[in-house]
Amino acid sequence: MKTVADFNFNNKKALIRVDFNVPLDEKFNVTDVNRIEAAKPTIDKILSEGGSVILMSHLGRPKGKQDQYSLKHIVETTSKVLGVEVHFASDCIGDVAQKAAASLQKGQVLLLENLRFYAEEEAGDVSFAKELASLGDIYVNDAFGTAHRAHASTTIIAQFFPNDKCFGLLLAKEIESLNKVLTHSVKPVTAVLGGSKVSSKITVIENILDKVDHMIIGGGMTFTFIKALGGHIGNSICEDDKLDLAIEILHQAKQKNVHIHIPVDVVAANAFSNDATTQIVDVREIPDGWQGLDAGPQSLENFKKIILESKTILWNGPLGVFEMENFAKGTIQLGEYIAESTKNGAFSLVGGGDSVAAVKQFQLEDKMSYVSTGGGAMLEMLEGRILPGIQAILD
């Protein structure tokens, strides 16, 4: 696996696909710099060797050229995070981009305008990719968040750099961390899968059953399993068309000697509201008009024992509606158990939008071995797929 560590960038222009799809407030201020910070080690390495950097990214889902999605809004913040002045090209192809790239000196950074201002980017257009490729000497993909898309800048472009393409340090770390869970894990391995729908996790579950010893199922998915097993779930969220699938998953797990753990009690509420009346009930006996919104205390005790005995932990999805303070305890406690297990030497990987949001919100991020930057990309890797953006570098 070639990374930037395998190249010397002296006098070279590195064309880097980054994921600077960062959130902006109504005044176009960047409200979360994590993705920019994540790309900094790769950029620093190239600049320190006397190279220059051309950054390509998308922002949002523009329909054509729309000012609110211009990457000019993030130039100042990117300069601050990188500690070097970032020059901006008001286009990503054509004369403007060509001139800006040609005049780039050693140690300088250029940010191109939003790639998605052109429909050709998402269409994976070859001539668009070729125009982008003409701007640099070495192609670096450091955007895990878009590695599952066969777009011009993430996949198609690589063919124009047969011997001069590599992974950035961030993308390499993502691949390495996922491989630690999927192929080089230390047993016992525990996967915690939460979130609301079994349907969105089914391929993940099927793919990792061969790789784990324990699987903790939490969040809204719980109730599809409980109902399938004959329990009464009140008004809890449930995918009625997936009841047979839930039983099939339990059957497959038993055959593969994987222990599946489902909450035994829940914090139930009489409305989907932080101010609702709550009670702790048996997960199989939720009264009509009530819905389970968080894992209960006995469930958490059960999960704690499993997590603390694990050597490899994958966490994808919260245990409850953590956005509401009264239903966040399960997710917080789970995070603290994983943090404790990590401190004791386990390898923990957290991925997926909600789990990542939770570890950040509850200040647990630094206590995990690795927090993934790509939601959809990570899910597809967990499903056993080869991501096009990764394959393009390996080819």
Dump pLDDT digits (tens) for 365-384. 999 999 987 777 888 888 88
- Give me the amino acid identity at 367: K
Q: Give the bridge partners for 88, in sequence order.
A: 111
Cβ–Cβ < 8 Å for 392, 372: no
For domain 4-169, the CATH architecture is 3-Layer(aba) Sandwich (3.40)
Contact between 98 and 134 under an 8 Å Cβ cutoff? The reply is yes
Average pLDDT (74-89) is: 98
Model confidence at 99, pLDDT cuts 50, 70, 90, reads very high
Cα-Cα end-to-end distance for the chain: 10
Return left, alpha or beta for 238; rule: phi > 0 is left, psi -120 to 50 is alpha, else beta: beta
**Mode of pairing for the β-strands spanning 109-112 and 138-141:** unpaired
| Contact yes or no for 44/81 (Cβ under 8 A) | no
Residues forming the annotated binding site for substrate?
Answer: 19-21, 35, 58-61, 116, 149
Q: Confirm if 193 and 201 have CB atoms less than 8 A apart.
A: yes
Per-residue model confidence (pLDDT) at position 201: 86
Annotated binding site for (2R)-3-phosphoglycerate: 35, 116, 149
Active site residue ranges: 35, 197, 353, 376
Class of domain 185-382: alpha beta
Tell me how far apart the alpha carbons of residues 217 and 209 are, in angstroms, rounded to a whole number: 13
Tokens 């967990």 found at: 382
Domain with CATH 3.40.50.1260 in the chain: 4-169, 185-382
Annotated binding residues, written as ranges, equal 19-21, 35, 58-61, 116, 149, 201, 292, 323, 352-355
What kind and span of H or E run contains 266?
Answer: strand 265-269
Residue 354 has pLDDT above 80, yes or no: yes
The string of pLDDT tens digits covering residues 216-250 is 999 999 999 999 999 999 999 999 999 999 999 99
Residue 281's region, left for phi above 0, alpha for psi from -120 to 50, else beta, is beta
Residue 258 has pLDDT above 80, yes or no: yes
Span of 15-19, 38-42, 179-183 with lowest mean pLDDT: 179-183
User: What percent of the residues of the chain are helix, what percent strand, and what percent coil, each to the nearest 5?
Assistant: 45, 20, 40
Amino acid at position 103, single letter = S
